[in-house]
Structure 1
Amino acid sequence: MKVYRIVLITFFLSLFTVTAAEAAKKSDNRHYQMPSSVMNIAKENTYPNPTQDLPSLQPSEFTKDLLSTSKVKIENPDLIRMLNETSINKTPFAIGLRATIYLGEWPLNYESSETVPNWEYQKINTNYFDNRGGNANYKIHYVQEMQKQIKGGLTAKIPHADDVQKMMMLTAAQKTKLPLSFSTTIGAGTKKSQVYNIPAQRLGYLYAYAPAVNEKGKVTYGEVFIVLKGMKRSIVVKNVTSQGIGAWIPIQDHVTFAFVTSSEPK
């Protein structure tokens, strides 16, 4: 009977753990789900933004073998590309070979601690109409008055900033499934057909914002060496350091709208 109770308790605990994990996953998905006030303007945008596509670079068999020898995780796409373009042939005449090749200091990997969207990151436009003298609703819709470029970037100066940005954007894009880019532009004359009604005797303001993601985490640096000992090849990382870093990454071709009416000018 005692054994039966233990088995039953273990079963319910495992069930609770799975349920809690699924609930956390669903909550995380809702966290990155766009509110109804955010709209895709890719088709309407008068400025054609280039598609940001940063696929994870697949290491070659040679690179996989090298990476497996490193005690520090290496995920930097540019370093992996360099290793993919490197070849060191095994030869029976290399039995007495001893060599150390210095590849320099690199940002090796990025570990995310927080990824939070800000749906009103930067105000880019205001459409306005004064209907205080009217007797019926007045309809307005979004029209971008001036071209706006929205730039993101790292929140602090850091070595090898371009490499770090790539790793941070890859991580944030994988977590959020959002179209991210460190620079996006909304062209003048961009329109959206969604209609907003300004009641009689009121002023109406339609604000447009560019959304972005705030990514925070830790980047690990190290000096990378390829070590050759006979027919063995390995990667050794020395002087490993870590540094906290954050970045703002705009969401490409998306706009958040906020409609406000008032009896007095704002």
Structure 2
Amino acid sequence: MKQLRLAAIFILVFTMMCLHVSAEKKTTSEKKKQLAIPSSVLHIGKENTYSNSDEDLPNLEPSEWTKEILKTTNVKIENPNLIRMLNESAVNKTPFAIGLRATIYLGEWPLNYESIETIPNWQYQKINTNYYDNRGGNTNYQVHYVQEVQKVVKGGLTAKVDKADDVRKMMLLKAMSATNLPLSFETVIGAGTKKEQRYNIPPQRLGYLYTYAPAISEKGKVTSGEVYLVIKGSKRSIMVKNITSQGIGAWIPLQDYVSFSFNATNQPR
């Protein structure tokens, strides 16, 4: 009995150690997913004079009915709008369904998006230039960022696709998951937005502080197909026909982030 107790304790301790190692590996893996942000890129959420609304794109959880019906097809279905439609639908089973046959066309849908590449462009679009001429000065002059006019920065898909809004949502979800950054297909930097970080312009020099809106370049493949709900007696299933795949890319700006580039020169630009 004593030996059995010792063996049980050993198994319990070993299991707990394995779970701890697994949790550490998971945490490390999650940290690796975070995109490294250069020191030249700063968050302006508090300073931005325009209040951007958060992109409300939660991962929509399928209902029990939807989970059951999605298991009947080997085609991955991730489209939030299609999942929402299935969540709002139901076909009740009834003992009187013997002999019932029906095929219901649900439409042609983008079914899933597979990400191949997620790359940041920290200087996606120039939005501002702060300039000072210190050629007649005897000491350093300090310049800092002040947004002169309001700028609307838009992203978008790089190719035409059917149901583009559905494709944008799937690409945005994948990009947000890969970067852990606030992304949106449109962001606004308000006039008068400031950052107190200073840049020195030496005497006999002109100083240019350029400000850019960063964005993510997302590239991958979208799979589409015709979706049917098939009813055979008491059985319900999803059938997908005419499946196609298309390469697709998108530019997705970062919300409330800007990138700076400073240059001091003796010649006007």
Q: Does 1:155 align with 2:158?
A: yes
- Following the alignment from structure 1 to structure 2, what is the Cα–Cα distance between the partners of residues 29 and 159? 30
- Written as runs of structure 1 = structure 2, the 5 A alignment for 1:58-137 is 58-137=61-140
Deviation per residue, 1:153-193 (Å, 9 max, x gap) = 00011111000000000000000101100000001111111
1:200 positional shift:
1.1
- Following the alignment from structure 2 to structure 1, what is the Cα–Cα distance between the partners of residues 254 and 49? 17
Q: Does 1:196 align with 2:199?
A: yes
Residue of structure 1 in register with 2:9 after alignment: none
Give, as a single letter, the amino acid of the residue that structure 2 aligns with 1:249.
I
**Secondary structure in 2 aligned to 1:92?**
coil
Give, as a single letter, the amino acid of the residue that structure 2 aligns with 1:151.
K
- Following the alignment from structure 1 to structure 2, what is the Cα–Cα distance between the partners of residues 259 and 155? 31
1:26 positional shift:
9.2
% same residue = 69
- Written as runs of structure 1 = structure 2, the 5 A alignment for 1:231-246 is 231-246=234-249
Runs (4+) of structure 1 exceeding 4 A deviation are 24-30
Residue of structure 2 in register with 1:40 after alignment: 43
Q: Figure out how many residues of one structure are paired with residues of the other and give that number.
A: 245
**Secondary structure in 1 aligned to 2:268?**
coil
Give, as a single letter, the amino acid of the residue that structure 1 aligns with 2:170.
M
- Following the alignment from structure 2 to structure 1, what is the Cα–Cα distance between the partners of residues 32 and 155? 23
- Written as runs of structure 1 = structure 2, the 5 A alignment for 1:134-149 is 134-149=137-152
Deviation per residue, 1:166-225 (Å, 9 max, x gap) = 000000000010110000000111111111111111110000000000000000000000
1:27 positional shift:
10
**Unaligned regions of 5+ residues in structure 2, if any?**
1-24
Aligned residues of 2:228 and 2:240 also touching (Cα < 8 A): yes
Aligned residues of 2:137 and 2:203 also touching (Cα < 8 A): yes
Q: 1:29 to 1:83 in 2, by over 3 A?
A: closer
Aligned residues of 1:113 and 1:218 also touching (Cα < 8 A): yes
| Superposed CA RMSD | 1.8
**Unaligned regions of 5+ residues in structure 1, if any?**
1-20
Aligned residues of 2:33 and 2:180 also touching (Cα < 8 A): no
Q: Does 1:176 align with 2:179?
A: yes
Give, as a single letter, the amino acid of the residue that structure 2 aligns with 1:148.
K
Q: Does 1:230 align with 2:237?
A: no
- Following the alignment from structure 2 to structure 1, what is the Cα–Cα distance between the partners of residues 95 and 205? 87
Give, as a single letter, the amino acid of the residue that structure 2 aligns with 1:185.
V
- Following the alignment from structure 1 to structure 2, what is the Cα–Cα distance between the partners of residues 27 and 117? 17
Q: Does 1:217 align with 2:187?
A: no
1:25 positional shift:
6.0
1:264 positional shift:
1.0
1:53 positional shift:
2.3
TM-score where L is the length of structure 2: 0.88
**Secondary structure in 2 aligned to 1:140?**
strand
Give, as a single letter, the amino acid of the residue that structure 2 aligns with 1:255.
V
Q: Does 1:205 align with 2:215?
A: no
- Following the alignment from structure 2 to structure 1, what is the Cα–Cα distance between the partners of residues 134 and 173? 47
Partner of residue 189 from structure 2, selected from 171, 176, 186:
186
Aligned residues of 1:71 and 1:236 also touching (Cα < 8 A): no
Aligned residues of 2:50 and 2:188 also touching (Cα < 8 A): yes
Residue of structure 1 in register with 2:17 after alignment: none
- Following the alignment from structure 2 to structure 1, what is the Cα–Cα distance between the partners of residues 31 and 116? 17
Q: 1:26 to 1:67 in 2, by over 3 A?
A: closer
- Following the alignment from structure 1 to structure 2, what is the Cα–Cα distance between the partners of residues 140 and 123? 18
